[in-house]
Amino acid sequence: MLVIRPIRQSDYPVLMQIAEESGAGFTSLPVNEQKLKAKISRSEQSFAAAIDSPGDQGYLFVLEDTSTGEIVGTSGIEASVGLQTPLYHFHKSTVVHHSNELNVFKQVEILTMCNDYTGVSEICTLYLRDHYRQGLNGRFLSKVRFLFMAEHMQRFSKLVIAEMRGVADETGLPPFWKWLQSYFFSIDFPTADYLIGVGNKGFIADLMPRHPIYVSLLPETAQQVIGEVHQHTKPALKLLENEGFFHRGYVDLFDAGPTVECQLRQVQSVQQSKQAQVRVQQVSAEQTLAICNSSTENFRAVFSKNAAMNEAQELLVSPELAEALQVQTGDMVRFLPLDKVTD
């Protein structure tokens, strides 16, 4: 059975493996022992804390195959970004160049560096290991964050964002970065990416262009990838678009990947999730449900067809599911249909 739970210190070795597997561009998991162990400690403290408003908390989940004990994926939420270190983006907008005398009217796209998303919540660190990228596993790993947020709404901002990985060439180098590096930086992409991952962002304010950049002046290869996602990120973007996320012109500074956003209460999985009391008994149903308990520190989530609503509006769950969720008859859970596709 696949179970999602909060990360713990004993998961560090596999978290380092995942950080190495994920490669450049996955800045939320830097290949750095000190930073990864600090991330785990911060997550443990966040899950354990009594919170009535979002602050500098970070929640990191792992997907565990209980049949083998293997950690096969990660998923995370930042409660309020940009409080300790700035969260920078380029914002793509349009300006008008107009001359009545010459009868010229021209709209021009520009990129302006900003930190407009300071204080919002961010879903992040979504990674599923290759041999588990099948069936409903990826959807479960993505949607579990919204179950947790719906159950603990006070811990998060009204607005939620997700930064999507941008386009890279066959060597892993973003075409957008090639232009940026040639004019503003003397370091390579892996170094810049690593510095971002470990929180050393001072060089951005020091070296990035301080004035708007005219998109039409960029190389064609850089222009083409602004707001586009890496080929491996397209399924994740599709999932979020089905949830109601949309792109409002904000892109990553280095790979120009889009940042998408949605009001938390408008996220479809939040709206469609329901609470119910549990009744433990053997059951089999047609529909696959993602289910989580109501705990924070001992949060657990599973997905299965061994659960269904009865006429008393109780959620019947098999003994195996109840054990995995750490619940018993009478406890409250939140659930969501997992095999329903929203077009």
> Which DSSP string corresponds to 230-270?
-GGGHHHHHHHHHHT-EEEEEE-TTT-PEEEEEEGGG-HHH
Angstrom distances, CA of residue 79 to CA of 52, 53, 58, 120, 182? 12, 9, 6, 7, 35
| Residue 259 CB contacts under 8 Å (≥ 6 apart), including other chains | 89, 117, 161, 162, 163, 164, 247, 250, 251, 252
CB 63 within 8 A of CB 45: no
The residue behind tokens 């009535």 is 52
In this structure, which amino acid lies at residue 334?
R
Backbone φ and ψ of 131, nearest 5°: -75, 0
Residues belonging to the active site: 230
Q: State the number of CA atoms in the 13 A half-sphere of 10 facing the CB.
A: 6
| Alpha carbon distance 32, 23 (integer Å) | 13
The residue behind tokens 């080929």 is 231
